[in-house]
Every structure is written in structure tokens, then in C-alpha cells.
Amino acid sequence: MTLFALFRPLLIMVLAAWWVACLVDALRKHRPWGWIVALAVIPIASAPFYFLNYKLGGSDKGHIDAKVKLLKRLREVQTDLAVRDVPGVRRELAGLYAQLGRWREALDSLRPALDDDPEDLAAQYLAGTCWQELGQSEAAASHLEYVVGEDPKYARGEARVALGNVYKSAGRDSDAVEQFARAAAEYSIPEAVVRHARFLRESGDRDAARRELLRMLHSAGELDPEMKRKSRKWIRAAAEDLKSLEADG
């Protein structure tokens, strides 16, 4: 008897249990009926995709579903733009392209909106983040500096974090630290806190770094759901950095 034949019954039981778990999850959480039918009719093909969609990435919203919705909305906005070419529609179109990682197309959509209204902070912020993703620090900084200069509290400190990251990638460490420190102090944004605490640690002020991390971790439960979702890796990083600080004494 081969090894595979020996363990085949166990393997079948595990796969069956996995399929049942996926089906129960789909029913309990009221997933779209397409998923439920697929799991019931073609379990071998659909269960892996269900698992990848809802479970593997740590999000319960569904990665495939989210992308399908984005693409559907993108088509709707493109149709709307053909009827009424106004800055608000272009800005939404650019935002959708950005969510899909299509940074150049996002910038192309933003240009007419910025030409029409250069003081549009939402368009300026989005343009800055797109240039940042494309690795163009100078262009990104010009847009984000404008946003922070006009409204230092824009996006509840996220504009400062974005600007700090641009400065950091450009080698402007002191300017980056200033932005992270402000965002950490005013809003306890996890990424800003971790980056500022690491600077403090490298500078030898370990106690200040420890205080910042503790303060943020204690208040992490009060973050709004969207910020908590976006900051998951930084909250984990804060806990790891704090553990490392305490281990070093």
C-alpha cells in the first residue's frame, strides 16, 4: 500500500470539512448567492477561490468581490464622464483608478480637474499619493506640501504621513521626522507613531520611544474601523518594537 493510499481517507475528510466550513461561512455571513450556489454545485473548484477571496488576505470583505465592484463603478463613471465632464466626476474616476493601482491613468484623469481648480485639496492629495506610488518624490512633495500648507489637519493627519514618507524616500530625514512627529502627536496614526518611535530609539531616547508606542497601543481600540484596517500592520509593528525595547532593557 502506497503512502498516498494510506492517508487518502484522511485527506478526503479534511477537504470535505474545509468545504463544509466554507459553505457554512457563506450562508452565515449572507454572501452573494453566486458563491453559495458555486460552493454547493462545484465545491472542488469554488472552495479555493472562496477561501482566497474572503479569508487568506485577512479581510472579510472579499478581495474578488471588491475588485468586481470597483470595475463596475469605473465603467459607470466613465459613462458619466462622457455625458458631463466636470471636476467631481474626474476626481472620482481618478480615485477608482488609484484603488486599482492604475496610477498613470489616475493622474491623467486628475489633470483637467486640477487645471479647473488648483485649490482642490482632494485632487491635490490624490495626485501626491499617485506620484508617490510612481516613485516621483519631487512631484509628490509639491502636491502634498500644498495640501499640508493649506490644511495641516487634512485627512486627519494622513496627508502629513504621506508627506513624511515622501521626504523619507528623498533622503530628507529631518523633514520626514517632523511630519511623523506632528501626525503622531495630533492623531496617534499608527504608522506615524512607529516611524517616529524608531527615530527616537535610533537617537538614543528609548524611554520616549517606549512611551509613544504604549500610548498608541492603548488607544488603538478607539481608531475608526477604516483606520484600524489600514493600520493593522503598523499596530503589529508597534507591539513588536515595544517588545524589542523591553527585551533590550
The structural domains of the chain, with segments of one domain joined by +, span: 10-60
Q: Write down the pLDDT at residue 142.
A: 97
Q: Measured between alpha carbons, how far is 179 from 162 in angstroms, rounded to an integer?
A: 9
pLDDT for residue 58: 47
The long-range contacts involving 19-24, CB below 8 angstroms and separated by at least 24 positions, are 19/43, 19/47, 22/47, 22/50, 22/51
What is the Cα–Cα distance from 54 to 76, expressed in whole angstroms? 25
- Please give the distance of CA 27 from its chain centroid, rounded to a whole number: 28
Grid cell at residue 145: 506640501
Listed in sequence order, the DSSP H helices in the chain are 3-28, 33-41, 43-51, 63-83, 87-99, 103-116, 121-133, 137-150, 158-169, 173-187, 190-202, 206-219, 225-230, 232-248
Which grid cell sits at 75? Answer: 465603467
Among residues 175, 91, 163, the alpha carbon closest in space to that of 131 is found at 163
pLDDT tens by residue, 118-134: 999 999 999 999 999 99
Residues of the chain falling short of pLDDT 50: 58
Q: With a threshold of 0.85, does the pTM exceed it?
A: no
- Interatomic CA distance for residues 123 and 67, integer angstroms: 23
| Calpha distance 122→155 (Å, rounded) | 9
Q: Can you spell out the DSSP letters for 119-171?
A: T-HHHHHHHHHHHHHTT-HHHHHHHHHHHHHH-TTGGGGHHHHHHHHHHHHTT
Q: What is the pLDDT of residue 36?
A: 78
Amino acid of residue 104: R
